[in-house]
Amino acid sequence: MVKISQFRPFLFHTDINSVISPPFDAISQKQEKQLKSRKYNITHLTLPDTASIEEARDIFASWKSQGILKRTDDPIIAIIDQSYVRNGQEKRLTGLMALVNIFPDDGHVKPHERTFPGPVEERVRIMGLLSAQLEPIYLAVESHGIEELLRSMISSMDPDLNFTDHAGVGNRIYFIHDSGSVEKIANELMDKDAIVADGHHRLAATRKLAQSTEGYARSFWSNIMAYIVPLSSDGLMVAGIHRYVRSGRSFSDIVHEPGMEMTVSNMEKPDADAPLNVYDGKWHGLEPKDGYCLKHPEDCLSPVHMLNGILFRDTMHFQEQDFRDRIRYTHDVEEAVFQVDEGNADFSVIMPEWDRDKLFSLIESYGVLPQKSTYFYPKISSGIALNCMDTPQG
Domain boundaries, the chain: 4-238+377-388, 241-352
Q: How many whole angstroms separate alpha carbon 284 and alpha carbon 268?
A: 8
C-alpha R_g of the chain: 22
Q: How many whole angstroms separate alpha carbon 116 and alpha carbon 10?
A: 30
Q: Pairing mode, if any, of strands 242-245 and 237-239?
A: unpaired
Q: How many whole angstroms separate alpha carbon 263 and alpha carbon 279?
A: 15
Give the DSSP H/E element, type plus range, for residue 195: strand 194-198
Q: How many whole angstroms separate alpha carbon 295 and alpha carbon 206?
A: 41
pLDDT in the model for residue 296 = 96
Handedness of CA 221, 223, 228, 230 (dihedral sign): positive
Q: How many whole angstroms separate alpha carbon 331 and alpha carbon 328?
A: 11
Q: Return the amino acid letter for 328.
A: R
pLDDT in the model for residue 113 = 87
Q: DSSP assignment of 330-392, as one string?
A: ES-HHHHHHHHHTTS-SEEEEPPPPPHHHHHHHHHHH-PPPTT--EEES---BTS-BEETTS-
Which residues is 348 bridged to in the sheet?
Answer: 244, 279
pLDDT in the model for residue 158 = 98
Pick among 3.30.70, 3.10.28, 1.20.5, 3.30.1760: CATH of 241-352? 3.30.1760
Burial (CB count <10 Å: 0-12, 13-18, 19+), residue 142:
middle
What global pTM score does this model have?
Answer: 0.89
pLDDT tens-place values along the chain, 394 residues long: 899 999 999 999 999 999 999 999 888 888 999 999 999 999 999 999 876 789 999 999 999 999 999 999 999 999 999 999 988 999 999 999 999 999 999 999 999 988 889 999 999 999 999 999 999 999 999 998 999 999 999 999 999 999 999 999 999 999 999 999 999 999 999 999 999 999 999 999 999 999 999 999 999 999 999 999 999 999 999 999 999 999 999 999 999 998 899 999 999 999 988 999 999 999 999 999 999 999 999 999 999 999 999 999 999 999 989 998 999 999 899 999 999 999 999 999 999 999 988 998 999 898 889 888 999 999 999 999 999 997 444 4
